[in-house]
Structure 1
Amino acid sequence: MIALNVGAVLFGSNQVVIKSVEHDLSPNSLSALRFLIAAVCFSPLAVKGLQKAKLRTAALELGFWLFGGYTAQALGLEYTTAAKGAFTGTFTVIAVPLLVGFSGRKVPATTWAAAVVALAGVGLLTTGGSGFTWGDALCIGSAVLFGVHKFRTETVTAQFKDDTQQLVAVQLLVLAVISSIVCLPELVDVVHGRSPGEVLELASELPWLALAFMGLGTTALTLWIEMSALKQISAPLAALIYTSEPLWGALFAWVVLDERWGSTGWVGAFLIVASSLAAQLSGQDVKAEDLSLSNKDS
């Protein structure tokens, strides 16, 4: 439980760190460097995972969903505040049960009610201060993409119960490769017409401390924490702990970036967190019902 709380703090700090370096790096460059650093940490496991054809295919799909989510997040934070980005990110918790319902599985009425409350909360949050922005829409889209990733992961991980870490490692490698390809035109523009010495000087001026923190701390380490802790802690309890992520995000934004909201924004933030908790609790009920039916059938 302590480890998961550390993970929630790290996740909550991510928006603030992105905001702090966005004036030095484009979203594409930021993603490429972040994921390259993370992929290096898992490279030995990635080598093993790449030797398994089915695992490669599954990791490629999941990696694309993650790439879309992270890219939308980085782009969105260029046009909205870190605190609003943290709270709209809780839409992932709403997106997952909605996808479960659309797939044909039963979802409690409380989950649908929570989705409506969350939408109302986001409306209040994004109009309580700077107004609704393109960045807010991108952050919500990012949360939905992360929700799709979690939804698909539920199915995929059941096929690779003993290879979870390798699956994560190959996903990180996919992220690093795709983001590097997308960033390649920018890299060509930077290198063109400059001597190797000038290129090295520009590289030395990059915010490497922040990039290392995101690659090692908010990507590689948090994934490792989650995988290790879930061997002892139930998924519903872990999800409840991670609900504190936007609270940490808002706190960091308040202290580091001096971001402030009006009273309407705080009401919206409260509704989002409350709806997230309700959605997670109803998600626990869905899992319990599915297990009960499975045992009855067997």
Structure 2
Amino acid sequence: MSPSSGSESATATAADLQKTYLAGIGTVLLATLAWSFSGVFTRLLTTDIWTAIAWRSFFGGLFLLIPYIAMNGRRSLSVLLKIGRPGILFVLCQVICQACTVGGLYFTSVANVTVIYATSPFLAAGLAWWLLREKMRGRTIAAGLVSMAGIFIIVAGSVGGGHLLGDLLAIGMTVSFAFIIVIPRARRELPLLPTTVVSAFATALIFAPFSSPAALDLHNWSVLAGFGLTNFSVALFLFVFGARRVSAAEAALIGTLEIVFAPLWVWMMFAERPANTTLIGGALVLAVIVWHTYRDLRDPRGA
């Protein structure tokens, strides 16, 4: 091989890596944008909360089931039956998370839900330290404490304002999602896509008896289908595809854009302005997430 051919091969490899990296950045960004429209879908609905939870989950499970069957074929059912006890716990956490997500968006502002949910990585780090004895870095502890202060400011602003229930549901969503992060770290063999499919249909089955599908019109059916497809299925696939091609810190940094985008969409479309306490607490949480992620990018293993 001539020296020139070797350099051309190296250049081609570098170009391919750059394309892969940019594809990862782009798909994580698209996933974040898809997730950020959860508030818009919720505000477009004119149905009760039970119907929203049940049929959003049903459509989410349906749109995940199609590629799942395409990927596994005849093994689809056998894989679902082998999720075991960790899988059942994982499904339970996802059911709680799905219900609390919609419930939180129904009973409090989109900004409150988004900011509270953004603290889940720090809570997951604490759970991993407590349950799995994973080392917890000093900057993560500091960031977690500051983010908890931001949540306290937000919840304190909701007391007496009719949003406390929604904030508590958002906290329930955040805690359950932290377990969703930690459980696969304890059981790395756990199949994530099958358990997510099961959780979606389990949520639908649990809440369907309390729902009112007969009262749904074409508008609400369309919104629920779009909610399940975009915010549940497409966002998940885009994030999984992209997160494998960028670092965890970069994916987390892009994910923080949801704190900005989600309240922005509902402010533009529905004139839903965050409360002053939400702006203060949200700014605190956003700042600490950006600081923590920046430190991770500069010093991935440092304290």
| TM-score tier (shorter) | 0.7 to 0.9
Structure 1: 4+ residue segments shifted above 4 A: 278-287
The Cα of 1:24 is off from its aligned counterpart by 4.9
Could you tell me which of 131, 152, 157 is aligned with 2:183?
152
- Give the distance between the partners of 2:224 and 2:30, measured in 1 at CA: 19
The residue that corresponds to 1:181 in the other structure is 205
Could you tell me which of 4, 15, 31 is aligned with 1:7?
31
Report if aligned partners of 2:56, 2:225 keep a CA contact under 8 Å in 1: no
The Cα of 1:69 is off from its aligned counterpart by 0.8
Residue segments in structure 2 that go unaligned for 5+ positions in a row: 1-24
The amino acid across from 1:137 in the alignment is: L
The Cα of 1:287 is off from its aligned counterpart by 7.2
State TM-score, norm by structure 2.
0.78
Distance 1:183 1:264, change over 3 A: closer
SS of alignment partner, residue 107 of structure 1 = coil
The residue that corresponds to 1:230 in the other structure is 243
- Give the distance between the partners of 2:47 and 2:196, measured in 1 at CA: 25
The residue that corresponds to 1:139 in the other structure is 170
- Give the distance between the partners of 1:77 and 1:16, measured in 2 at CA: 10
The residue that corresponds to 1:242 in the other structure is 255
The Cα of 1:279 is off from its aligned counterpart by 4.7
Aligned pairs, how many?
Answer: 271
The residue that corresponds to 2:19 in the other structure is none
Report if aligned partners of 1:94, 1:276 keep a CA contact under 8 Å in 2: no
Residue segments in structure 1 that go unaligned for 5+ positions in a row: 161-166, 192-198, 290-298
The amino acid across from 1:81 in the alignment is: S
The aligned runs of 1:1-298 (5 Å cut-off) are 1-21=25-45, 23-24=47-48, 26=50, 27-44=52-69, 45=71, 48-52=75-79, 55-57=82-84, 58-102=86-130, 103-128=132-157, 130=161, 133-156=164-187, 158-159=188-189, 167-186=191-210, 199=214, 202-205=215-218, 207-280=220-293, 288=301
- Give the distance between the partners of 2:76 and 2:27, measured in 1 at CA: 26
Distance 1:176 1:288, change over 3 A: same
Report if aligned partners of 1:46, 1:169 keep a CA contact under 8 Å in 2: no
- Give the distance between the partners of 1:55 and 1:283, measured in 2 at CA: 36
The amino acid across from 1:175 in the alignment is: S
The amino acid across from 1:218 in the alignment is: N
Root mean square deviation of aligned Cα: 2.9
Q: Percent identity?
A: 18
- Give the distance between the partners of 1:30 and 1:54, measured in 2 at CA: 24
Distance 1:174 1:279, change over 3 A: farther
- Give the distance between the partners of 2:166 and 2:35, measured in 1 at CA: 19
Report if aligned partners of 2:94, 2:196 keep a CA contact under 8 Å in 1: no
The Cα of 1:281 is off from its aligned counterpart by 5.8
- Give the distance between the partners of 1:77 and 1:262, measured in 2 at CA: 15
Question: Which range is displaced more, 27-36 or 62-71?
Answer: 27-36
Distance 1:229 1:144, change over 3 A: same
Report if aligned partners of 2:27, 2:241 keep a CA contact under 8 Å in 1: no
State TM-score, norm by structure 1.
0.79
